Structure 1
Amino acid sequence: MQSGGDCSNGFHGDNHRELAWEDKQVAGLSSFGRAKRRSRGGARDPKGNLPNGLRVSDQPGEHKLLETQESPAPCTDFDVAYFHSYAHVGIHEEMIKDRARTETYRQAIMQHQSFIQGKVVVDVGCGTGILSIFCAQAGAKRVYAVDASDIAVQAKEVVKANGLADKVIVLHGRVEDVEIDEEVDVIISEWMGYMLLYESMLGSVITARDRWLKPGGLILPSHATLYMAPISHPDRYSHSIDFWRNIYGIDMSAMMQLAKQCAFEEPSVESISGENVLTWPEVVKHIDCQTIKIQELDSVTARYKFKSMMRAPMHGFAFWFDVEFSGPASKNSSATSVASGSSSVTSSGEGNPKKRTNPSDALVLSTSPEAPPTHWQQTIVYFYDPIDVEQDQVIEGSVTLSQSKENRRFMNIHLEYSSAGRSFVKESVMR
């Protein structure tokens, strides 16, 4: 999601305190139209109301409304706008055309076919239904394909066109609202947002797990890890900021502060290369989908300590993630990416690189700058002004990612960082 919206002349000066604007307006469709991520949960009747629940019996095709004992969290205007944005075919086209994403999921399904064949599967946020169909092709007994967006209507037609209506049951509603009258063996979901946690869809996977998954059941992906590292990106800075110094012989440098505000106020989703990364990455959050609790997603804080591998201007921090597709018997394994051929690198407490091993041939989908490109790209939090760092210079601080109180699908980013005796704070909101 590129930086967007209105810009002001406000600039917080040399202390590098970079505060996001307060935007109290209800998000419209244009806001979520830029999001390009998951559509999950909130079927509506023609008046815009949510049903109390949709129950599905053990017999495919039998549907009935059910009054649930506990009311789920209400569907907000933000949720409605979010779900509506995923009715647009372009978002699903972008995701399906992401070969690293789609082929890794298909490979993971086939790699775990023994867990899927003859079993019951839930696809959380099914979109057009492609993952549900992959599971049916792998021999699933039954697949519940759940999506709140109106794309569920097309998913049902896609399922019919492929002769799988007897196996794949499309449920148009939120995971929090629909009811399934049986335990399930497998949960599959492509829930990851930009910077992994943006859009807060993992909560729906956790809800599905706690409601329906059998003990020892399979969740794909099984693990996720969010990384961060400082970067140098002089070309991007020059293109957006230094451009204003001289235009057709005219000194327009008075525009530079406003340009910085507009270009770097919000996180930027873009592609960088490994050459832009100044240090080995640090882990911000590791997620085990079998055990994580929804409350853990409210706020994530991590401390970091980097050592620059070169002399360069530091323009900000980059964030990316890996997800791993491990079976129940290999929960503690780490992996090298089988699909992309890339490897993820973590650092030891002393800052020395440690390449992950591959004892169980677990499959990994990586959005690292060194991996094949995906539609997630990387998320960059830019500074308004670069910081010059020397080789072996230490950069340390903390990062906190929290759900916005304004809209839980937005993410607040609070960065504290210090280097060479100078300390800074950067705050922004990913909308």
Structure 2
Amino acid sequence: MQSRGDYSNGFHELEPVEEKRVPGFSSFGRAKRRSNRGGAPDTRDGLANGVRVSDQLGEQKPLETQKSPPPCTDFDVAYFHSYAHVGIHEEMIKDRARTETYKEAIMQHQSLIQGKVVVDVGCGTGILSIFCAQAGAKRVYAVDASDIAVQAKEVVKANGLSDKVIVLHGRVEDVEIDEEVDVIISEWMGYMLLYESMLGSVITARDRWLKPGGLILPSHATLYMAPVTHPERYSHSIDFWRNVYGIDMSAMMQLAKQCAFEEPSVESISGENVLTWPEVVKHIDCQTVKIQELDSVTARYKFKSMMRAPMHGFGFWFDVEFSKPPSSPAKTTSATSVASGSSSMSPSREGYQKKRSNPSDALVLSTSPEAPPTHWQQTIVYFYDPIDVEQDQVIEGSVTLSQSKENRRFMNIHLEYSSAGRSFVKESVMR
């Protein structure tokens, strides 16, 4: 990650200042960041952006003409290109909590998938599309803008499913499907849930093709935040410089803080690092959410510390829920996946329980610190310097997450915090 001397992202005891955005062209890599799979046009192997499936299926009743899609920028091209690397897909597929929960969700909703038409948004290697075909889908449109679509077509062919799974190489905004669909499935979640802005592609697919009352998997998503303490990380990154082989190198500490904590950190913490019950930043109903809602999300929070400890920053994580539409008569099984249900930390909150359509049988994939580990881990926004808090001390303020104007796949984070008569502001960019 790049360090910028003219941009400080520490907590400052200042009045709120105008948010800064970091321009530039940054490559996406799975080791640090996830990328979207709905991308740049390519005509290799006959998979062309804007391909019409009516040529393969026979005449279909055309859907209403859509308005022109947003242009594909250079940032988008780099973003999509990163998903052509097999290592990214290997990491996702090897995440058992992620992949097995999706497979179980498909089987739980088999009665809504069997004999129906499915769209897989950002299909990657095609594994979710194949799960849907195995569950009895009549037809699956596997859409991906990355060059991985070429391999996805070969994977589908090797499994004898070319008659059911149609791979479309292009953005969801550009490809043409000349029939309505019954189901949309997508693994769209980025770090901190909204990083990458891939949910917009799911919304586009919903508005273009999904039948009224159709199924979307996952159906809901909830982003949480809470104050965290992490003395081991701070000591490892910062206090190390106080004494290096007997030499006082504390002059390095300020630069070390900027390099270590300038941008949000994707890492794993445990429930012991969390100082309070979490608060909901954003709850998303995939049936009704609008793209405009994702341009900027603001939430106010008020925490009460459960212990006396140094507060090193705020942690963020999310849950996604796989529920049938409210009017659907389909039955769900009582099976429980390795990641089903959130940690004891999240669902015990009364406010969170009210968000669920049916808490007793909803299948949930959680990235909470107390849930089985996933490749998303948790996202931590660190302060440059820890803030000591007492037990029962109130911590309140607001957080705003907004898409960068320079690159919509980057996320600006604006945090305001006050406690014990002191107020702070932190601005950061997730890129």
State TM-score, norm by structure 1.
0.87
Moved more, 3-12 or 278-287: 3-12
* Cα pair 2:180 2:211 within 8 Å, conserved: yes
* Cα pair 2:140 2:164 within 8 Å, conserved: yes
Aligned residues: 420
* Cα pair 1:335 1:359 within 8 Å, conserved: no
RMSD: 4.0
Once the two structures are TM-superposed, the CA of residue 387 in structure 1 deviates from its matched residue by 0.4
| CA distance, structure 1, for counterparts of residue 327 and residue 246 of structure 2 | 66
Name the % identity.
91
Q: Deviations over 1:50-108 (max 9, x none)?
A: 97722111844999999976321100000000000000000000000000000000000
| CA distance, structure 1, for counterparts of residue 334 and residue 291 of structure 2 | 23
Q: Deviations over 1:238-272 (max 9, x none)?
A: 00000000001000000000000000000000000
Moved more, 280-289 or 67-76: 67-76
Q: Secondary structure at the match of 1:59?
A: helix
| CA distance, structure 2, for counterparts of residue 187 and residue 355 of structure 1 | 21
- Structure 1 gap segments, 5+ residues each: 13-22
| CA distance, structure 1, for counterparts of residue 25 and residue 46 of structure 2 | 18
Task: Tell me: higher relative CO, structure 1 or 2? Use CA pairs within 8 A at least 6 residues apart.
Answer: 2
Once the two structures are TM-superposed, the CA of residue 31 in structure 1 deviates from its matched residue by 2.4
* Cα pair 1:133 1:159 within 8 Å, conserved: yes
| CA distance, structure 1, for counterparts of residue 260 and residue 246 of structure 2 | 23
Once the two structures are TM-superposed, the CA of residue 349 in structure 1 deviates from its matched residue by 9.9
Q: Secondary structure at the match of 2:7?
A: coil
- Structure 2 gap segments, 5+ residues each: 13-18
| CA distance, structure 2, for counterparts of residue 43 and residue 11 of structure 1 | 38
Once the two structures are TM-superposed, the CA of residue 205 in structure 1 deviates from its matched residue by 0.1
| CA distance, structure 2, for counterparts of residue 145 and residue 344 of structure 1 | 36
Q: Deviations over 1:381-421 (max 9, x none)?
A: 00000000000000000000000001000000000001111
Q: Secondary structure at the match of 1:386?
A: strand
Once the two structures are TM-superposed, the CA of residue 339 in structure 1 deviates from its matched residue by 3.3
| CA distance, structure 1, for counterparts of residue 98 and residue 146 of structure 2 | 21
| CA distance, structure 1, for counterparts of residue 301 and residue 333 of structure 2 | 24
Report the CA distance shift for 1:116/1:66 in structure 2 as closer, same or farther (over 3 A): closer
* Cα pair 1:413 1:429 within 8 Å, conserved: yes
| CA distance, structure 1, for counterparts of residue 405 and residue 38 of structure 2 | 19
* Cα pair 1:38 1:201 within 8 Å, conserved: no
Moved more, 343-352 or 150-159: 343-352
| CA distance, structure 2, for counterparts of residue 3 and residue 368 of structure 1 | 29
Q: Secondary structure at the match of 2:299?
A: strand
Moved more, 36-45 or 224-233: 36-45
Once the two structures are TM-superposed, the CA of residue 343 in structure 1 deviates from its matched residue by 3.2
Once the two structures are TM-superposed, the CA of residue 37 in structure 1 deviates from its matched residue by 5.7
Report the CA distance shift for 1:213/1:8 in structure 2 as closer, same or farther (over 3 A): closer
State TM-score, norm by structure 2.
0.87
* Cα pair 1:52 1:66 within 8 Å, conserved: no
Once the two structures are TM-superposed, the CA of residue 324 in structure 1 deviates from its matched residue by 0.0
Q: Which residue of 2 aligns with 1:394?
A: 394
| CA distance, structure 2, for counterparts of residue 143 and residue 352 of structure 1 | 33
Q: 2:285 aligned with 1:297, yes or no?
A: no
Q: Which residue of 2 aligns with 1:102?
A: 99
* Cα pair 1:43 1:174 within 8 Å, conserved: yes
Q: Deviations over 1:201-246 (max 9, x none)?
A: 0000000000000000000000000000000000000000000000
